[in-house]
A and B are shown apart, each in its own frame.
Chain A
Amino acid sequence: MTQTERQESRNPAPLRDVVRVLGDDGTIVDPTLDPGLSGPELVALYRDMSRTRILDERLLTLQRQGRIGFHVGSLGEEATIIGATYALRPQDWIFPCYRESGAAVTRGLPLQAFVDNVFGNANDLVKGRQMPDHHTGRAVRFASTSSPVGTQIPHAVGVAWAAKLRRDDVVTLAFFGDGATSTNDFHAAANLAGVFRLPVILLCRNNGWAISTPVERQTASPTFAEKGNAYGVPGVRVDGNDALAVIAVVRRAVERARSGAGATLIEALTYRMGAHTSSDDPSRYRTESEIRPWVERDPLERVRRLLEARRLISRADDDAYRAEVDRSFREAVAVAECTPPPGLHTLHEDVYATPPWHLVEQREALLRGSRPAAPPRTV
């Protein structure tokens, strides 16, 4: 494949067979599919998306300043992440990969808990045991984030299965990337979901890239959605930069799941506008010109244009909201930064429900032993 051919395949997809509601200019292109959000609902949606982006920018800055160790962002993918979250009900579970922390906050994970996590301090819900942005939120039915790609997909299937067995009205949604569709776990999960008609939604964020690997290297199928066919799971493609379209298709998938008809595979066509993570340098594998068409399709701008056309927010409202997010973030960071790291005694907790003898011994040795010296000076 030539360079241009490769680039074209990641250009905004030809929009045949792709669900769209909101045009790039913020007008409704397909009223029949419009999920019909009220004015206040649209404003809340926009704010959740814009908070996700602001937090993303601020966290990247903290990482660049050396104040946190790592960041993985969702620039350009907010419509998929927040739209899908919007379409779920409180009892439904989210199984994230690592790029959906915006969903945790949208679901109600307190901002302080969110920030404590990236600092890995004593108040971090996961006790400083994971890299930044690997959130867990049992209270908001947000599963534990794992770094290994694809492993959460069978878990989502399992919770859906258990809920079905217990006759609970619960649907689960697994987020994963285009790269994850190559893992064993994706195929295992899609197959189980199909065979047992489980109330699960498999949501593939096709953002064009798996680190430096383009989608053509993940699959020779023209689409990811059609992979569902092999498993008896209907696939649907949606414009992943169109929050209203994402809400519409996820809602439809929720309804299908609740009715007992089973799972849906959703391919959301979007684009990873930022680096893979703070450790990545995309200039080594893609050009700026590839990003340009996606700037026109910015998911946030599209909703903002709709809101402005409907006179639901003004520039001043927007600025005030952004300032408010900024202020509360700065406050949370101030608290998190002066919160000590997790106590040494926590290191051996939660391996088992009750620590067996060998962990008790190891903990005592740690607590009795000497502390690490400052790192040796290098010349």
Chain B
Amino acid sequence: MPKMNMVQALNDALRVALGRDERVVVMGEDVGRVGGVFRVTAGLIEEFGEERVVDTPLNEGGIVGAAIGMALYGMTPIVEIQFGDYLWPAYDQVVNELAKYRYRSGGEYSAGMVIRTPVGGGIRGGHYHSQHPEAPFIHVPGLKVVCPATPHDAKGLLLASVRDPDPVIFLEPKRLYRAAKGEVPDGHYTVPLESARVVRSGPDVTVIAYGAMLYEALDAAAKAAEEGVECTVIDLRTLWPVDIETIAASVRATGRLVVVHEAPRTCGFGAELVALVCERVFYHLEAPPVRVTGFDTPFPYSLEMEYLPLSHRILPAVLEAARS
């Protein structure tokens, strides 16, 4: 199996998707000639032509709105929003149109499409190239939200998202674009949506993470093991609908929960995960659940490594959960 980084795996997935279904189009700012600012779409315009790999004007609401129309006509647009931070100009089209089209038409219409966008900090991107905006999209009924952590999952989840009948917000942790490497199968395969992956097993504490923070959680788990605390680390992969069974089963076994995410803490996805665990397996809990998250501030520039919930902040939370 070839070894790839996440950019190559995503590029491969797009090539496979475009190659196997002529209804698929890739569209966004700079996705054609230059191959995307992170090169995820590199080479696609040469292979599939400019009708199917479209350099659009700079207007995110317009891109998503037009993609909705294409999807209504039976095509499968894969939209790239250049940074997750620029999903906001399209928020109205995503929330009021895309997410509700099936429901408000009584199932007469649907608009299956994928919106891919790089998210997260750690690349010195400041306020507007670092946000990790899963929670507001998870909150919107009708959307699915995906966030891979490995090249293998990035390709398999993207291909699953393309085939999914519902709109998918596909968050790509940009810090992993070139840093995450691994074996990626050739050709078409899917990683089912709504399936989390248990990356490490241990009886003492359940750590939930996703995207770039998975590696921080794994690092903290390795250090905790040196101190005699063995963690189960779960990579959610699909954030919504979340694989609640895998989470509940693990917390039932460990009785202790640490949730990690980069996005701000208040009303973040961690709050929902903790609530779900409390509702389901409260009597199995041996310690208060803990959130390790970004701060409730705009994403900072110089102090970004202080903002991010890296291993050094996860480890004490794990030890505290294990020992309380």
Query: A and B bound?
Result: yes
Q: Which residues of A contact B (CB under 8 A)?
A: 124-127, 129-130, 134, 136-138, 143-144, 146, 148, 151, 153-163, 165-166, 172, 184-185, 187-189, 191-192, 195, 349-353, 356-358
Residue in chain A with minimal CB distance to B107: A350
Which residues of B (29-74) have their CB < 8 Å from a CB of A?
A: 51-52, 56-57, 59, 61-62, 64-74
> Does the CB pair B96–A351 fall under 8 Å?
no
Sort A-B residue pairs by CB-CB distance and give the 7 closest, nearest first: A158-B69, A154-B65, A188-B62, A356-B241, A162-B73, A158-B66, A353-B165
Contact pick for A350, options B59, B102, B144, CB 8 Å: B102
Chain A residues near B56 (CB-CB < 8 A):
192
For B52, list chain A residues within 8 Å (CB): 165
**Contact between B104 and A130, CB atoms less than 8 A apart:** yes
A146 and B96 contacting across the interface, CB-CB below 8 Å: yes
CA distance A228 to B56 in the complex (A): 19
A126 touches B66 (CB 8 A): no
Which residues of chain A come closer than 8 Å to B141, judged between CB atoms? 351
Which residues of A lie under 8 Å from residue B250 when comparing CB positions?
A: none
Whether B5 is near chain A, meaning CB under 8 Å from some CB there, is: no
Interchain CB contact under 8 A, A350 and B103: yes
B104: which A residues are within 8 A, CB to CB? 126, 129-130, 134, 136, 144, 146
Interface on B for A, CB 8 Å cutoff?
Answer: 25, 51-52, 56-57, 59, 61-62, 64-75, 89, 92-93, 96-97, 101-110, 141-142, 144, 164-166, 194, 241, 244
Query: How many contacting A-B pairs (Cβ < 8 A)?
Result: 146
CB-CB under 8 A from A357, the residues of chain B are 241, 244
Judge whether B96 and A185 touch: CB under 8 Å. Answer: no
Which residue of the partner chain, among B105, B241, B244, contacts A144 with CB atoms under 8 Å?
A: B105
In the complex, what residues of B have CB within 8 A of residue A155's CB?
Answer: 65-66, 68-69, 72, 97
- 5 A-B contacts (beta carbon < 8 Å): A151-B97, A159-B70, A188-B59, A192-B59, A350-B107
A125 to B104 alpha-carbon distance, docked (Å): 10
Contact indicator A351/B142 (Cβ below 8 Å): yes
Chain A residues within an 8 Å CB radius of B70: 158-159, 161-162
Q: Which residues of B contact A161 (CB under 8 A)?
A: 66, 69-70
Query: Are A351 and B62 in contact, CB atoms less than 8 angstroms apart?
Result: no
The answer to whether A191 touches B57, judged by C-beta atoms less than 8 angstroms apart, is: yes
Cβ contacts under 8 Å, B72 to chain A: 143, 155, 158-159
Considering the complex, give the chain A residue whose CB is closest to the CB of B102. A350
B125: shortest Cβ distance to chain A, in Å?
A: 25
Which residues of B are found within 8 Å of A192, using beta-carbon distances? Answer: 56-57, 59, 62, 66
B62 touches A191 (CB 8 A): yes
